[in-house]
Structure 1
């Protein structure tokens, strides 16, 4: 994610978790719309998504332990289901296209095929969650979707 945005007065404002969540929600709306078209809006058809928001810790000894977590980049780890009518290459192209249309979207993204239990464990690691009061605060609940659980 871009770490700051320009205000209407031309000054730079650092982002926090709220604009990160908004940006990711916008991304998932774009992606769902690109994949499912009007069925996304009309019938609520959407991808299963597990998004986790993090802020990278600074890795320098110069910082006191009380200051760790106040430096580093906001970023999102995410597991997104592969829709049955697309292959992994087509989904990656759509992900890159939709993320490029998000204002806070930073161009450096990494897409990997085949999220497994190891990836989910990595996403849910305790490290880089110091910005949040509780563990569940790092999960972007607004974008979490599991139609199996909704049944």
Structure 2
């Protein structure tokens, strides 16, 4: 029962936030909104850019399994770590002009909108589909 509750809450909150973020970002970017209205094939790429620019879940809490160095900082084994999805999605090495909302950017499969690795959201395809259908 608890697993079912977690799945329901996770799917509901992620999709609700993605839809709300999409509506808000398209409202804040009238040119992008007009392009999406004129060409429905841009809905999918726009949803990917929403997930990159403003992910529904902003932080992933994890625990290190061993000592590791990240960007010159040593993280000891068995320490709690907060991974910022927003920061990863704004990495200029991966996304040039990362602060800009650009529906023509190719970020599919490269953003952390629904997490990553073994913690990638099991309902990510459904969340994307639902957001596309709403738009």
The TM-score with structure 1 as length reference comes to: 0.33
The TM-score with structure 2 as length reference comes to: 0.36
Higher-helix-fraction structure: 2
